[in-house]
Amino acid sequence: MKKRSLIFILILGFAVLFGIVATSIYFAGIDSNSKGKNDLPELPGKVQLPGNNEKIYESLESEKNKDLHVYPAVSHETVKELLSSLETPDIYYWYFNSTIISSEKERTTNGILKYNNGTYMIENYSNSPESKLEKTIVLQDDIVSVQTHDRQQMSVAEFSAKTTSAFIEAGVPDISTFINDSGADFRYSMHDSEYGKMIYAEFELEKDGYSQEQRYYISLDFGIVIKAECYENYSLVYALNTITLYELENS
């Protein structure tokens, strides 16, 4: 197997561009290290993920969970079929943070995805007490619009959804990576629990003194990657974590 490049080339470029060291995690003025979900914004809906103390992720890795049904060794064709025929809620909000780590710096971005009947809007905020809005990405009618906010100035660029995605522009994995995968790189399993249906994708490589590992948790209920970890030579270089995920009622 040839050495696989990380799928986050754009993300790593994003980190180099800003070059800011993250020291603590804030989300729109909210300390994401707080213990309870009551500190999150009041939204008319129900919390779907991540559950109690990330129990969903632990349950996906535990064979002793009686409420968990594990389907090991799921084929890429099955994964491709599942991801290509998703039925997601009409409206949902996803609060997340992503971190890029190198030997010299660490960059954390906090984000909000607002999905409304086919339209995606993602807002990226700086990891600082001020939580400054840095980027707004909108996907509508097969056009990805990227607004970059810098020192009270805003620049706008538009791209075809055939060449990029709102998720990639926001610095997070896109499920198209797994749909378009050759099927030779990742190992897949499916997990069904009280938190919904998930696909776990894993890639590992060790060759000539180099190692790489990638882990992704994909929600089949929402069609997004809700957690990711990427390692190079056993060091974490990228992490994506869900703060919470809300399904909202149509008003």
pLDDT, tens digit, for every residue of 190-206? 888 777 788 999 999 99
Give the pairing type, strands 30-31 and 119-126: unpaired
Q: Are 199 and 177 in contact (CB under 8 A)?
A: no
Q: Where are the domains of the chain?
A: 9-244
Residue 9 is predicted with a pLDDT of: 34
Residue 131 is predicted with a pLDDT of: 83
Fold of 9-244: outer membrane lipoprotein receptor (LolB), chain A (2.50.20)
Residue 152 is predicted with a pLDDT of: 73
User: Could you tell me how far CA 128 lies from the centroid of its own chain?
Assistant: 20
Residue 27 is predicted with a pLDDT of: 25
Averaged confidence pLDDT in the chain: 77
Which of 197, 108, 145, 128 has its CA nearest to residue 136?
145
* Positions in the chain short of pLDDT 70: 1-67, 251
Residue 33 DSSP class: T
Q: How far apart are CA 113 and CA 136, in angstroms?
A: 10
Q: What is the pTM of this model?
A: 0.77
Residue 56 is predicted with a pLDDT of: 62
Q: How far apart are CA 120 and CA 194, in angstroms?
A: 26
